[in-house]
Amino acid sequence: MGKDRKVWVSVGFLLFLVAVLSTPAWGYEVNRWFSIYGTFTGTYQWLEKSAGVGDNEDDGSGVFDLTVSIKPWEGGEFSGRASFAKGNGLKNKSPFVLSPNADDLEDDLKNINGHKWQDHLQELWYAHTIRLQENLSFKVTGGIIDATAFIDDNSYANDELGQFVNEVFVNNPIANLPSYDIGGAVELEWDAWHLRFVSMTSKNDDGNNYAYFALQLGYKLETPLGEGNYRIYGFLTNEEFLKGDGEKKASLRGFGVSFDQQIIKDVLGAFFRAGWQDDEAFVYYDKFISFGLNVSGSTWGRKNDEIGIGYAYLDGSTNSDVAHTHALETYLKFHIFEYKAVSANFSVDFQYMNDDLRDGGKNEGYIWGIRFNMSF
């Protein structure tokens, strides 16, 4: 299948959702049940190496994300999401294990998860919510889904377009959360509690199809300081991952926590993540911790500005050539304008990365970045 044809296949899936339901009978309800969301993100980063392999590098990328949402009846929603990118930024040039840009860039959007037909198409699912009582609801989602939409969420460190850029502060990297593949999710919301279960099938780096399961329990805490969210989850796969010897297979399994808490309401917040995974199969890291702060621009009279500061430490597994990794990132986001449904912001970003290797060497460097984001 040619490149242009695969692009149109992805666009066609989204247009199909519109075409199926955009009949004259539905036209008068278009403002209530039909929505389109779009985001353009331009990023440029400069890498200054201080130790290890590689050279100083700089590169950028531009990404356009499009989401179509249709709610044809009470409790039901069809949704499709596609992404189009130009450039890979530093992803293919950085010497570090962790990516300095967590966004899905040009190469990431080709043959997603080994599916030759799935260029650019990230999500395509149907969800149905049943409200059992005023404070109790049950939701089922099925189709091409993203596990990060259900597991390991966080208010201050979960959005690579508007918060931290480095992947270690977007999701727990050792939770092995699959994205953009066939699966289903079940969610139960009861007062301040939630319980979520995700099941997906995907393809790993060894070329094997595998099954992934995750379960998360969460609690929303309201205090005089502000809102807090506390989550604990576990995950498990079947035995389709190669062991360190490269021959026998093993499963991935582990658990994690993701907390966020307002410290001063609408002014200062903090986040904390931690995780562990078994290293019977080949994995780079088996322990992980990150934490940081979020400062609202209301402190200096611009409530839509914000500052984020984060630090992460990862411990290398017994079969990895990385002993441990340190990552530090801080960003300052400026709100530019908001007009009706359109808004824009500009961020400056700094990262410090250090992979200490078991042979005594290390890859170390500094990454400066700028990011422009416009959404509607």
Q: pLDDT digits over 158-171, tens only?
A: 999 999 999 999 99
Q: What is the Cα–Cα distance from 96 to 93, expressed in whole angstroms?
A: 9
Mean pLDDT of the region 71-97: 96
Question: Do residues 306 and 334 lie in contact, with contact meaning Cβ atoms separated by under 8 Å?
Answer: no
- Tokens for 217, please give them: 């329990």
Question: Does residue 246 carry a pLDDT above 80?
Answer: no
The pLDDT value recorded for residue 268 is: 97
pLDDT surpasses 50 at 251: yes
pTM of structure: 0.89
pLDDT tens track for 181-206:
999 999 999 999 999 999 999 999 98
Residue 98 clears pLDDT 50, i.e. is over it: yes
Query: What's the full length of the chain, in residues?
Result: 376
Q: CA-based angle 89:95:97, to the nearest 5?
A: 95
Share of the chain above pLDDT 90, in %: 86
Q: Which domains does the chain have, with CATH numbers?
A: 3-375 (2.40.160.180)
Residue 344's DSSP bridge partners are 337, 374
For residue 184, give Cα distances in angstroms to 153, 235, 312: 17, 15, 31
**pLDDT for res 31:** 52
- The total of other beta-carbon atoms located within 10 Å of residue 122's CB is 23
Task: Name the phi and psi angles at 76, rounded to 5.
Answer: -105, 145
